[in-house]
């Protein structure tokens, strides 16, 4: 074969051309590595900025009284967001009450009963699409079916909107949890003469429970932080809620409402609410990860 073809490259077997060309390539290599690492760390700057500002602006007002007080009227000082904390928990609770059974039962159907049926394939596809739907659309839906139907803004409407939002999260993570249960367990159970229900209830579900809890915690984290779905379904309230059928405050909407007001105290309160919200979301996420890692 023609030896000339080889001469362009740095060659271990000849002395010339080793250092110059190879050195050029390794320099280029180092430049690219530096750029890549540099850009990666550049993205961390905004995050540190967010965490720093939330702490710096949020901590001064973080006292027990903000959890017991009511939101101050525009221009006044004092009070807190006790009703918003409760409102957030209530609406997340309503959302869980709707979405958890629906999501887990659907996951059981598509993984245990009929994994290859047309309905199951459709459910998986629809769940993927629901994850992609903008959160505000969940709000629009709840506005149409609850607010317009009942004629009033309410915690129920907010809860329904959040339920639509977290249903796919719970469904898809539950499916993964069920997939993680060994086939051999099911076969052993069926082999002993158990019915499908007994197998699922006594063998599969206990085994899949920790991973399912992860999904639910992730859903809680997501729902607690969402603003758009509750913005015009639960609206907001200056007062303690008397029932789930009246406008209800939430931390997220409080931050949104107060962020654009021209009063220092309200803006400070928005930062403190952000701090509480970020902590709530982060704790849910970390707990979710820990539950999962234990499995």
Q: Which tokens belong to 207?
A: 């085994």
Least Å distance between CB 128 and other proteins?
Answer: 6
Between 62 and 145, CB nearer to other proteins: 145
Cβ–Cβ < 8 Å for 10, 22: yes
Minimal distance in Å, beta carbon 294 to other proteins? 18
CB of 145 to other proteins, least distance (A): 6
User: Could you count the other beta carbons within 10 Å of the beta carbon of residue 74?
Assistant: 11
Query: Which C-beta is closer to other proteins: that of 43 or that of 243?
Result: 43
- Separation CA 292–CA 209 (nearest Å): 10
Q: Report helix, strand or coil for 105.
A: helix
Q: How far is the CB of 289 from other proteins (least distance, A)?
A: 9
Closest CB 229 distance from other proteins, rounded Å: 9
Residue 205's alpha-carbon distances to 101, 173, 199, 211, in angstroms, are 13, 13, 9, 10
The distance of closest approach from Cβ of residue 264 to other proteins in the complex, given in angstroms and rounded to an integer, is 13
Taking the alpha carbons of 140, 144, 145, 148 in that order, is the dihedral positive or negative?
positive
- Distance from chain centroid for Cα 281: 8
Q: Please give the distance of CA 277 from its chain centroid, rounded to a whole number.
A: 13
CA distances from 177 to 46, 62, 87, 268 (A): 34, 38, 31, 42
- Distance separating the N- and C-terminal Cα atoms of the chain: 60
* Identity of the residue, 27 or 73, whose beta carbon is nearer to other proteins in the bound complex: 27
**Of 130, 131, 159, 133, which is closest to residue 146 (Cα–Cα)?**
159
Name the residue nearer to other proteins (CB basis): 167 or 241.
167
How far apart are CB 295 and other proteins at their closest, in Å? 19
| 191/193 with CB nearer other proteins | 193
Which C-beta is closer to other proteins: that of 77 or that of 149?
149
């Amino acid at each position: 074969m023609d030896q000339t073809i080889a001469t362009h490259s740095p060659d271990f077997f000849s002395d010339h051309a080793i250092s110059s060309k190879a050195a050029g390539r390794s320099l280029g290599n180092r430049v690219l590595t530096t750029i890549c690492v540099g850009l990666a760390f550049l993205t961390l700057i905004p995050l540190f900025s967010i965490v720093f500002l939330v702490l710096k602006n949020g901590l001064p007002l973080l006292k027990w009284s903000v959890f017991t007080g009511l939101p101050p009227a525009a221009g006044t000082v004092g009070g807190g967001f006790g009703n918003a904390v409760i409102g957030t928990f209530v609406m997340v609770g309503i959302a869980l009450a709707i979405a958890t059974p629906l999501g887990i039962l659907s996951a059981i159907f598509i993984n245990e009963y009929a994994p290859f049926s047309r309905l199951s394939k459709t459910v998986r596809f629809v769940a993927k699409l629901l994850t992609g739907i903008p959160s505000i659309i969940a709000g629009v839906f709840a506005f149409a079916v609850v607010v317009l139907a009942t004629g009033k803004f309410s915690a129920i409407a907010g809860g329904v909107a959040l339920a639509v939002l977290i249903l796919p999260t719970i469904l898809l993570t539950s499916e993964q949890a069920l997939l993680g249960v060994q086939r051999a367990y099911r076969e052993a159970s069926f082999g002993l003469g158990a019915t499908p229900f007994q197998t699922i209830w006594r063998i599969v579900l206990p085994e899949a429970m920790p991973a399912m809890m992860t999904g639910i915690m992730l859903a809680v984290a997501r729902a607690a932080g969402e603003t758009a779905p509750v913005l015009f379904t639960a609206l907001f309230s200056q007062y303690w809620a008397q029932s789930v059928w009246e406008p209800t405050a939430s931390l997220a909407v409080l931050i949104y409402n107060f962020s654009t007001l021209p009063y220092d105290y309200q803006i400070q309160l928005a930062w403190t609410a952000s701090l509480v919200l970020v902590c709530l979301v982060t704790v849910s996420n970390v707990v979710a990860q820990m539950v999962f890692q234990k499995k």
